[in-house]
Amino acid sequence: MFGLFPSSAGFHELFEEGAMVLEKAAKCYTQLVSDYGHAREHLEAIRKAEHEGDSVARRTFAKLDTTFITPFDREDIQDLTTQVDNIIDSIDASAQRILLFGIQKPPEALIRQTMVLLDACVHVRQAIILLRRLKKPEEIRKHLIEIHNLENRGDDINHKALADLFNGVTHPNPLEVMKLKEIYDYTEVAIDCCEDASNVIERIILKNL
């Protein structure tokens, strides 16, 4: 009788595959801004990761449409998959703009911002891996707390970077100010999406205690 309905097997593998792609994209982004002489190579790696992330999301949604029994609520699976994909998309958008806008040298604040983003993505991946062990939520919540702390740190870096931009401290050219602001904003969106993903994971924990 149980064979009548597709089982939930495979969802965790898809979650973890998406999280691995996420961490790879974030790592390539930090490499792009810190190893700017090879920026195009790092951008190609990010573009590849973005396509891989889209593939994971499509396969997850397809499985969701054809599976009767799921490990978590369908809404939470959809939301977690979407948030991970949103982070990757924001990384890709920001990285592309750095080269499209002809940025001569990534500012130090952007380098710090990408490092915060990478740390947050690492914790998102580790929390997703631990979803297999929902009976020990305290281990997962340690990562969620770190993601929240990193989001606050990212806000601080972003606010200071924007203040310096508009005060003419880091760049006097108004056009360059607009370009850098957009790049900072997309990077900040990626960090914010990490916290959104952590909120979905917390919701999963609460529903499955």
| Full domain range(s) for residue 48 | 2-207
At 171 the pLDDT is 64
Q: How many Å apart are CA 128 and CA 134, to the nearest integer? A: 10
Tens of pLDDT, residue by residue over 92-106, are 999 999 999 999 999
Band of pLDDT at residue 7, cut at 50, 70 and 90: very low
Q: Who contacts 200 (Cβ-Cβ below 8 Å, separation ≥6)?
A: 76, 79, 80, 83
Query: What mean pLDDT value characterizes the chain?
Result: 93
**CATH label of the domain that carries residue 65:** 1.20.58.220
pLDDT (mean) for 184-209: 96
The residue behind tokens 């001569």 is: 104
pTM: 0.93
Tens of pLDDT, residue by residue over 29-83, are 999 999 999 999 999 999 999 999 999 999 999 999 999 889 999 999 999 999 9
Band of pLDDT at residue 166, cut at 50, 70 and 90: confident
Tens of pLDDT, residue by residue over 125-157, are 999 999 998 888 999 999 999 999 999 999 999
Contact 46, 106 (CB under 8 A): no
pLDDT at 9 over 80: no
Contact 96, 181 (CB under 8 A): no
More confident residue, 37 or 171: 37
Q: Tell me how many domains the chain contains.
A: 1
Q: Who contacts 178 (Cβ-Cβ below 8 Å, separation ≥6)?
A: none
Tens of pLDDT, residue by residue over 14-37, are 999 999 999 999 999 999 999 999
Angle in degrees, CA 108, 161, 41, rounded to 5: 45
More confident residue, 175 or 127: 127
